[in-house]
Amino acid sequence: MHRAISAPLVEQLSPAMVLDVLPDGLPGDLLHRPLLELRAPPECFSFITRKPEGHRHEEMASLPIPTAPVHKLKSILHFVDRRPTPSLLPILRSQQQGEILALLLGDPGLELSLTEISSRTGTPHPSVYREIQRAEQAGLVTTRKVGSTRLVRANTASPYYAGLAEVLTRAFGVPAVLTEALGPLRGVTAAYIYGSWAARHEGQAGQRPVGDIDVLILGEPDRDQLYSALDAAEKRLGRPVQATIRDPDWLGSGTGSFHDTVTSRPLLELALAAG
């Protein structure tokens, strides 16, 4: 039986229990885990009382805290992530993890602060901090401090670097690779990924891996330069990139079945520099 406990609700469960809380009394190495599935005999746990945050005396909650030695409990703890695995590459824990690692490992010369990683991936700063902590502990990235700023870059000395960089770039690095390819081009007002890859990125179920990448280009770019840039992107991504060029205001003023299809499905705008 699996049931969730959250303060102030208190229930004593069977030996298999789930805590959707972060008790203050848990060992320090467990405090950063969002969800703990505890499989242990009842004698390994005792119920103690603590004050929920924001309450003084009138409202208390009981939380099961392990009383057995930590080294014994580690063998029976199974950590569960509440978020679904990403549709683009479901072997990873989360979409955020894949996008952060793809950003860093996809460009070994890139060195970013946590704030810049958060801005580029759209990931909350606390989540970036946790993912970088895990990645550094695994030897996938290195960090250094410049004043109060923590800078992060790929650890190219890791034996996993080459293989992971290729896999992560192909699965999650599509926006970064296309932004890099299209950014220098004149005449590109905006660019969007649409179609199957954008749908998988939004978590919609469907065929994996996605065979090609559909890109909507708004503006009047030089076509030779555009196709040359996309050809280089194809080599990095290991799959075809199909570009469709339309007028700058096409999304708002366009008509027809293709327009209706594109605008009714997920669109991921590339973060091209203004101008």
140, pLDDT greater than 70: yes
Answer yes or no: do 189 and 251 share one domain: yes
| Domain final residue pick, 170, 192, 216 | 170
Highest mean pLDDT (candidates 14-28, 69-83, 196-210, 243-257): 243-257
Q: How many structural domains compose the chain? A: 3
Highest mean pLDDT (candidates 14-18, 109-113, 227-231, 235-239): 227-231
CB 181 within 8 A of CB 229: yes
> What is the strand order of the sheet 188-194 is part of?
241-246, 213-219, 188-194, 268-269
Question: What mean pLDDT do residues 169-193 have?
Answer: 90
Residue 260 lies in a domain: yes
| Domain final residue pick, 154, 170, 186 | 170
Answer yes or no: do 101 and 158 share one domain: yes
What residues make up the domain containing 161?
95-170
**104: CATH:** 1.10.10.10
252, pLDDT greater than 50: yes
How much is the mean pLDDT over the chain? 75
Residue 29 lies in a domain: yes
38, pLDDT greater than 80: no
From start to end of the chain, where are the E strands? 16-19, 36-39, 45-50, 61-66, 77-79, 112-113, 141-146, 149-154, 188-194, 213-219, 241-246, 268-269
Answer yes or no: do 256 and 204 share one domain: yes
Answer yes or no: do 64 and 108 share one domain: no
Residue 10 lies in a domain: no
Answer yes or no: do 178 and 263 share one domain: yes
Residue 227 lies in a domain: yes
- Give the pLDDT confidence of 87-138 residue by residue, as tens digits: 655 567 788 898 899 889 988 888 999 999 998 888 899 999 999 999 999 9
**222: CATH:** 3.30.460
pLDDT given at position 224: 95
Question: What mean pLDDT do residues 39-63 have?
Answer: 44
Answer yes or no: do 110 and 150 share one domain: yes
Does the model's pTM come out above 0.75? no
| Domain final residue pick, 79, 103, 127 | 79
Answer yes or no: do 204 and 245 share one domain: yes
Answer yes or no: do 150 and 196 share one domain: no
Answer yes or no: do 53 and 138 share one domain: no
- Coil, helix or strand for 26? coil
Answer yes or no: do 120 and 188 share one domain: no
Q: Give, in order, the Cα–Cα distances in Å from 58 to each of 50, 54, 71.
A: 12, 11, 36
Residue 99 lies in a domain: yes
